Structure 1
Amino acid sequence: MHTTTMTRVTSLIGATLLGLTTLQASAAPEIPPIPAVQGDVVQAEGDFKIKFSIGTTQSGAQYRGLEYFEKIVEQRSDGHIQVELFHSAQLGDDLQAVSNLQSGTLEMTAPSTSPLVGMFPEFAVFDLPFLFPTPEVADKVLDGEIGQKMLDDASRQGLVAIGWAENGYRQLTNSATPVTSPDDLDGLKIRTMQNDIHLGIWRTLGANPTPMSFAELFTALEQGVVDGQENPWITIEASKFIEVQDYASETNHVYTPFITLVSERFWNRLPAGYQQLVRDAAKQMGDYEREVSRTLNDQIKQQLKQAGMQITELTPEQVEVFQEKLAPVYDDWRDEIGGELIDAIRKASQ
């Protein structure tokens, strides 16, 4: 090939690759930067190590929050507390991690509340439908007296509960039809977690809830074993459900928090100054993680739209129809969860 022609081809290939790289870069979510650490160095005796394990991936909002926690604790302890992060259930799933806290072989974890309902029945309140109408209401409840009391009540059985973050709102996708009312769900097979409240929600709405493990879900959707599923936008995108689901509805039907837990055995070894440092860091981590979570969710919803998923955003009137239909779920669970807790949250939501 002539030298000039070769140069042109090389330039063309280079420009094409550069264009692809730019396209990929523009599609990548813009995550809020990790804030600077505020506060003086805490003076206390001893050197400590914290292994902090979560079930979510390294690319998610939760891990980003953990990186901020690590930065705060290591800087403000002047390196006397070293933090090691483990993502993607490397040290076990949520329940295994909690068990390891109780035995003292792991220092910290931050599971969703849903797997802990067996230990703390009041956590089932977070599985009730449409309890938190906005993220701001969720923050107000969890960061106020109600959230603090729930942390205090969960500080037993070898655990110390010190803060909240968010897993976020769950959304509905399916391969059959746009969903704007309960009537659209009639007979649809919807995959749910093995959770009695979630099964009750979809049964009450007229769907056919089908519990199965998350690991089996993509194949089940692909083969038509189930028609739809419900998860936060981040999970929907990361799991590539757009390949097997044409329709989505932004239902925000269940809001799930993460709870930050410490091993009581480890906690009792920490000097009071370091205990307070870890508490403060957990609060700052939670605030930042929520910001990242909400930023990612908004960006990812737009990316799914642009990629061809038909997303229906329910109006307040449409949401009200779902809420009215689901009133019996509250009646069924009122005694088990605690009517006072449900009423207190509803009052704070107004």
Structure 2
Amino acid sequence: MKKRIMGVLLAAICAIGLIGCGNTNNSGTSTKKEDTTKASYIVRIGMPTAGKHFQNFTAEQYKETIEKATNGDIIVEIYPSSQLGTATQMIQGVQDGSIEGVMIPSSYFCSFAPASAVTDIPFFFEDSQQIFDILNTPDNPLNVYLEKYGFKVAAWFKNTPRYILSQKKYESIADMKNQKIWCLPSRTLQKELNAYAASPQTLDPSDISVSLENGTVDGVETDVLFMNSTGLGASAKYLNKIPNTPMTNLFCFGKDWFDKLPKDYQELLINTANDIIRTQEIPYVEKQYNGSLQALQDLGVEIVEPNDALITELKEKSESVTDSFINESEENSEIYHELSEMILNYTK
């Protein structure tokens, strides 16, 4: 009963936040209507998240810094909660120029640039720090690759591990058999769940909470910050800390739009994104991660640490996912081997 009441209160708070999202300028809300008549450039940035999610926090810091640095010559408009369309529609909009920028998990790009799913290969990157450091180096081959498909990378976010929030405790792969688990729309992630004998589910993020509550899905595979910001803990019993592989999110612009900007503005947009992520987003994520774990526990969710035997099972079963990715195309193979070399030479 206590858990249900807390869940209802959380849902009400979220609803109030969404109702006000067109008028406020707090983290996770859309930008107030501003006088844009004196601005030379309007930068509309879409994202599927809301509330205190790190994408929304970063967007607000970015807006403030860019507008101040250009004395209002560049106006940044923030559109949270998929106000500019679904994740796929927003990425399409960036690609065709109808939207200037997007902040979103990189897994959504695989339908547009298939080799970008390399970031989803299970147990490829060691942890969240390693994937962040490597992807934010000038030698990252994904940046050049994504430009071929119309995307100009501004920066890669620091995210947290991928876990599974569910109604069932997973102590072996056998426990995952036939479990309907939502994951991001990446073929690599779907193949990974299939390798564990689970059944991957793809739903719009706005439908996840209800689906978990009514049993349409048995679990949700994502980061704990998203789980907490969307109130998923009210509908689940266990947080299984598997597969414990790093997630990453991407901030990018449409390449055609970006290339038409003055050189100094191009440098400003890119440098500001990287500075804010390194100086503000990273400590924010670390704080929110611990707070999100505690919030889930406060709702009665049990944290399940995996045993060594389960981790070994997961790694063995997922080897086929890596092979499948490499063999899918020459581009996939090239990107994989370039990043493999960077991982081999990586030092913290």
Shared fold per TM-score greater than 0.5: yes
Q: What residue is the counterpart of 2:53 in the other structure?
A: 60
- Pick aligned residue for 1:285 from 240, 257, 276: 276
What is the aligned partner in structure 1 of residue 337 from structure 2? 340
Once the two structures are TM-superposed, the CA of residue 146 in structure 1 deviates from its matched residue by 4.5
Structure 2 vs 1, CA of residues 311 and 83 (structure 1 numbering), >3 Å: closer, same or farther? same
Q: Is the CA contact 2:108–2:184 (under 8 Å) kept in the aligned structure 1?
A: no
1:192–1:199 Cα contact (<8 Å) kept: yes
Compute the TM-score of the two structures, normalised by the length of structure 2.
0.78
Could you tell me which residue of structure 1 aligns to residue 43 of structure 2? 50
Residue of structure 2 in register with 1:175 after alignment: 167
What residue number does 2:142 align with? 150
Shift of 1:80: 2.2
- Read off the aligned partner of 1:248 and give its amino acid letter: L
Secondary structure in 2 aligned to 1:170? strand
Question: Partner residue of 1:191?
Answer: 182
Aligned counterparts of 1:90 and 1:255: Cα–Cα separation in 2: 27
Q: Deviations over 1:42-84 (max 9, x none)?
A: xxxx832222222211431111101111122122223322222
Distance change in 2, residues 1:153/1:205 (3 Å): same
1:100 equivalenced with 2:97 (yes/no)? no
Higher relative contact order, chain-length normalized (CA < 8 Å, sep 6+): 1
> Is it true that 1:218 corresponds to 2:215 in the alignment?
no
Instruction: Indicate conservation of the 8 Å contact 2:163/2:224, yes or no.
Output: yes
Q: Distance in 1 between matches of 2:227 and 2:92?
A: 29
Q: Report the number of matched residues.
A: 305
Q: In the TM superposition, what is the alpha-carbon distance from 1:145 to its structure 2 partner?
A: 4.3
Residues 94 and 254 in structure 2, CA contact (< 8 A), matched pair in contact too: yes
Q: Is the 8 A contact 1:182 1:322 kept in 2?
A: yes
Q: In structure 1, which of residues 280, 302, 325 is the aligned counterpart of residue 294 of structure 2?
A: 302
- What's the counterpart of residue 36 of structure 2? none
Does residue 76 (structure 1) correspond to residue 73 (structure 2)? The answer is: no
Q: Which moved more, 1:234-243 or 1:58-67?
A: 234-243
- The alpha-carbon distance between structure 1 residues 49 and 251, as it changes in their structure 2 partners (threshold 3 A), is same
Rate the CA distance shift 1:349–1:301 in 2: closer, same or farther, 3 A.
farther
8 Å Cα contact 1:173/1:245 also seen in 2: yes
1:260 maps to which of 251, 255, 259: 251
- The verdict on how the C-alpha distance between 1:146 and 1:181 changes in structure 2, with shifts beyond 3 A counting, is farther
| Counterpart residue number, 2:151 | 159
Task: Provide structure 2 residue ranges, at least 5 long, that are not aligned to the other structure.
Answer: 1-12, 14-26, 28-38
Tell me which residue corresponds to 2:21: none
Q: Which one of the candidate residues 311, 315, 326 is aligned to 1:319?
A: 311
Q: Check conservation: 1:193, 1:213, Cα contact below 8 A.
A: no
CA gap 1:122/1:348 in 2 versus in 1, 3 angstroms: farther
Matched, 1:130 2:123: yes
Amino acid at match of 1:277: L
8 Å contact kept, 2:132–2:156: no
Deviation at 1:213, TM superposition (A): 3.9
Shift of 1:321: 3.5
1:222–1:134 distance in 2 versus 1, CA, 3 Å:
same
Give the superposition deviation at 1:335: 2.2
1:247 is aligned with what amino acid?
Y
Is 1:270 equivalent to 2:261 in the alignment? Answer: yes
The verdict on how the C-alpha distance between 1:326 and 1:87 changes in structure 2, with shifts beyond 3 A counting, is same
* Identity %, equivalent residues: 20
Deviation by residue 1:225-265 (Cα, 9 ceiling, x = unmatched):
43222121122223333333111112254433222222334
Give the CA deviation at 1:174: 1.8
Q: Would you say the 8 A contact 2:154–2:253 is kept in 1?
A: yes
Q: Which amino acid aligns with 1:159?
A: F
Q: Does 1:242 align with 2:225?
A: no
Letter in 2 for 1:192: C
Whether contact under 8 Å (1:162, 1:279) holds in the other structure is yes
Give 5+ residue unaligned stretches, structure 1.
1-23, 25-33, 35-45
- Paired residue type of 2:289: N
Computed over aligned residues only, the root mean square deviation of the Cα atoms, in angstroms, reads 2.7
Q: Distance in 1 between matches of 2:198 and 2:132?
A: 31
Q: CA deviation at 1:110?
A: 2.1
SS at match of 1:173: strand
Aligned partner of 1:12 in structure 2 is none
Give the structure with higher Rg (CA). Answer: 1
SS in 1 for 2:104: coil
* CA apart distance, 1:104: 3.1
CA offset at residue 342 of structure 1? 5.2
